[in-house]
Structure 1
Amino acid sequence: MKVAVLGTGAIGAYVGTALHRAGADVHLVARGPHLAAMRQYGVRVLSPRGDFTARPHATDDPAEVGPVDYVFLGLKANARAACGPLVAPLLHDTTAVVAAQNGIPWWYFHRHGGPHDGHRLESVDPGGAVGAVLAPERAIGCVVYAATELEGPCVVRRLEGTRFSVGEPDRSVSARCLAFSGAMVDGGLKCPVEPELRGDIWVKLLGNISFNPISALSRTTMRQMCLHGGTRRVIEIMMHETLAVARALGCEVGVSVERRPAGAERVGDHRTSTLQDLERGRPLELDVLLAAVVELAEITGVEVPTLRTVHALSDLLALRSAA
């Protein structure tokens, strides 16, 4: 199995090292100090399960890698429309793109069935730019339940979790999903193949759609948000509105909204990825988390006043931080 990892942040590097340990032919596509460090030292993973170092091939030139069986896409969603020159040399006729992404993916309505089958979401795939470089037919969805962070160039710390759920847009249990899952498991990760992966997408989104923008707007950690009564209530309302949109699309998510803030509080003083991006002057990945659900609410006729309010505020924050 030949795999290219495009987007070698904490998640991409972690998955790349796991697949490398499983015996896959892994190529990490990176640049700058991160690439230089990986070439010199490999990737160091620090984990409660035991630290280790792996040395997969690392390059800044996808043409040097050539076509692969799988591209594991660890890029932020707002970087995907421009990734065509990086992806193109990695593709052959049957290359699968395993898309690890928070929020609503660009392939969401591909082979969805029902009245919205094939619909393109402007907030997720503006002008069709993402679909033009990442054909939905290639997509394998991936919902990440592992928490990792980069402690420095080529040093990944796993905080918790090892689960990466994967699934086909058409809900089939395909040979390509099973093969990828097997390699991930051989590398020490959990990787169930989920026919109804869209349910996992909404479960993960419940936290991201609320905690991420609120943390950036308030500059607070998970624990701090949940300990503040007013903010906690806003988070719960956002979650209920999100579940209403999911139900309108035929996706029943059996989770307790009231238990989610309690679980987040136990995480402690963790800064969400959106807050970290804000502090580092990076673009905020909010369109696929929040704008997409507001757009879905318009399509389905669901009232989401709190989501709209938080979206307006966080969108202004994103514009100001990018100026």
Structure 2
Amino acid sequence: MKVAVLGAGAIGAYVGASLSRAGADVHLVARGPHLAALRERGVQVRSPRGDFAAHPNATDDPAEIGPVDHVFLGFKANAYAAAGPMVAPLLHERTTIIAAQNGIPWWYFHELAGPYEGHRIESVDPGGAVTRALPLHRALGCVVYAATEIESPGVVRHLEGTRFSIGEPDMSISARCTEFADAMVAGGLKCPVERDLRCDIWIKLMGNIAFNPLSALTRATMAGICRHAGTRALVAQMMEETLEVAHRLGCRPEISVEKRLAGAERTGEHKTSTLQDLERGRPMELDVLLTAVVELADLTGAEVPTLRAITAVADLLNQQVAAAS
């Protein structure tokens, strides 16, 4: 099995190293000092589950790799629309594209039976640009329950979690899903193939949609947001509104708001990826986390006043970040 990892950062390099030690033919696409370190020393993983090293091929040019069986996307969803030229050299007739993204994916309504089948979500796939770059028939969903960070170039610190749930948009248990999952498991990861991955998407999104923008607006950690009575109540309201949208789309995640809050609080003094982006002066990944759910509320007639208010102020902050960069 041949795999290319585009965006071999913290998550991408961790997945690539795990697949490589399982015997897959892995190619990492990275740049800068991180790429130089990957070429020289491979991926060095530091983990409470045991350190290990792997030496997959590393390059900054996907054309050097050629067609692969699976493309794993390790960069953020706001870069997908421009990914076409990087992805194109990697494709053969049956290549899959596995997007390890947070939030609502561009393929959400692809092959989803019901009144919205085939609907394009503008905030996620503006003008169809993401679909053109990442064809729908190649998409496999992936929900990441692992936390990693780049400790130094070429060195990945695995903090917690090893689960990468995957699934087909049409809710089948396909051979291509099973092939990738088996390789992930052989590499020491958990990779359940879910029939209804969309419920996993909503469960994770319940946290992201609230904590990510609020952390950027307040500069607080997840535990800090939970400890403050006012923001804790705000998070709960945002989660309730998010669940209402999910229910109207036919998905009923089996988790309560209080349980989701408790899980977030246990994470401790953790800075969300959105807050980290803000601190580094990078555009924040808000469209797939927040704007998309407001758009889906409009589609389904759900009332989401809190989500609308947070979207407005977070979007203004994002515009200011972009103007300053």
| TM-score scaled by length of structure 2 | 0.99
Amino acid in structure 2 at the alignment position of 1:160: E
Matches within 5 A, 1:177-192: 177-192=177-192
Matches within 5 A, 1:243-282: 243-282=243-282
- Structure 1 counterpart of 2:167: 167
Matches within 5 A, 1:1-323: 1-323=1-323
* Number of residue pairs the alignment of both structures matches: 323
1:276-300 C-alpha deviation (Å, 9 max, x unpaired)? 0100111100100000000000000
Report the 3-state secondary structure (helix = DSSP H, G, I; strand = E; otherwise coil) of the residue aligned with 1:210. Answer: helix
1:252-284 C-alpha deviation (Å, 9 max, x unpaired)? 111110122222222111100000010011110
Q: Using the alignment, how far apart are the partners of 1:127 and 1:34 within structure 2?
A: 33
Report the 3-state secondary structure (helix = DSSP H, G, I; strand = E; otherwise coil) of the residue aligned with 1:27. Answer: strand
Worse overlay, 212-221 or 262-271: 262-271
Q: Using the alignment, how far apart are the partners of 1:155 and 1:33 within structure 2?
A: 11
Q: Using the alignment, how far apart are the partners of 1:266 and 1:195 within structure 2?
A: 29
Report the 3-state secondary structure (helix = DSSP H, G, I; strand = E; otherwise coil) of the residue aligned with 2:58. Answer: strand
Unaligned runs of 5+ in 2: none
Report the 3-state secondary structure (helix = DSSP H, G, I; strand = E; otherwise coil) of the residue aligned with 2:81. Answer: coil
Moved over 4 A (4+): none
Q: Using the alignment, how far apart are the partners of 2:234 and 2:9 within structure 1?
A: 31
CA RMSD of the aligned region, Å? Answer: 0.6
Q: Using the alignment, how far apart are the partners of 1:32 and 1:257 within structure 2?
A: 42
| TM-score scaled by length of structure 1 | 0.99
Report the 3-state secondary structure (helix = DSSP H, G, I; strand = E; otherwise coil) of the residue aligned with 2:82. Answer: coil
Report the 3-state secondary structure (helix = DSSP H, G, I; strand = E; otherwise coil) of the residue aligned with 1:161. Answer: strand
Q: Using the alignment, how far apart are the partners of 1:246 and 1:218 within structure 2?
A: 27
Report the 3-state secondary structure (helix = DSSP H, G, I; strand = E; otherwise coil) of the residue aligned with 2:67. Answer: coil
CA drift at 1:75: 1.4
Q: Using the alignment, how far apart are the partners of 1:155 and 1:212 within structure 2?
A: 25
1:166-205 C-alpha deviation (Å, 9 max, x unpaired)? 0000000000000000000000000000010000000010
Q: Using the alignment, how far apart are the partners of 2:281 and 2:168 within structure 1?
A: 35
Q: Using the alignment, how far apart are the partners of 1:169 and 1:303 within structure 2?
A: 27
CA drift at 1:41: 1.3
Q: Using the alignment, how far apart are the partners of 1:131 and 1:263 within structure 2?
A: 34
Q: Using the alignment, how far apart are the partners of 1:238 and 1:245 within structure 2?
A: 11
